[in-house]
Amino acid sequence: MGHLSIRNIKRLLKFNAVKGFHTDTLHDVGICHPCSLAKSEHRPIQSPSRGSILTAGDMILEDLIGPLPWSIDKKRYALIIQDSFSRLTAFIPLKDKSEAQIHPQTWMIQFMNMTRVTIKGLRTDNGAEFKNNNMDEFLRRRGIVHEYSMPYEHHQNGKVERTNRTILEIARTSLIIAGFPTIIWPWAFKHAVWIFNRTLHADEKKTPYEIISGMKLSQGLFEVKRAWHSVNWDSLMEGSRIG
């Protein structure tokens, strides 16, 4: 009977839906192990809660977006780096995945120097761009613990992956509104990250920018947003030194 439950079989009998089937053929088999296995659900492995992230630098999150369309300056990947506590986010355009071995190291050194905080942990996936001797040696010398998210457990690095989606949406919208081609997506990403760092997220009462810098926003935020949409393609290429 396809491993129907006793309850469902009794309902068939009650409504006389099966000919020649009698109740005396029924017996309780207890727990059906194949059924238990088939009906089992995957329960996500819980990542550390916000309560375990007490200050800036406690955990840095990294993720790679791509491959994306080739940009005008030959970039195809977007490296997103985020401080889990403040959500302060950085974007680095890359030509190749292998560049993700070096750029995070430079960013972490700059972050520690500018904020005077100590980075304690780094969480990435198991990609070769993050799992290599170069990165391991850098982290070991600075006492930074490298955590890897489990395969297929994307929620473990869910915060930075949600950030990725937000940045992608802002960047795409900015390109559409301005009428710019996708080959300048790195500029749109930089614009999107700039906005992300200066807006409120979740239940926070401060922006990532204010949490890290201690400074509130000025009206300049809105001027910059208008500036992006008012610039034209010719002037952008003229000032980019890549035309």
- Provide the number of structural domains found in the chain: 1
Residue with tokens 């960047």: 171
Residue 7 resides in a domain: no
Residue 85 resides in a domain: yes
Q: Any idea what DSSP says for residue 183?
A: G
Residue 136 resides in a domain: yes
Residue 90 resides in a domain: yes
pTM score, whole prediction: 0.71
DSSP-derived pairing of the beta strands 60-65 and 121-124: parallel
- Least confident interval from 22-31, 58-67, 116-125, 201-210: 22-31
CATH of the domain at 83: 3.30.420.10
Where would I find the beta strands (DSSP E) of 89-197? 89-94, 121-124, 145-148
pLDDT, tens only, 93-135: 999 998 988 889 999 999 999 999 999 999 998 887 888 888 8
Q: Which domain holds residue 192?
A: 55-240
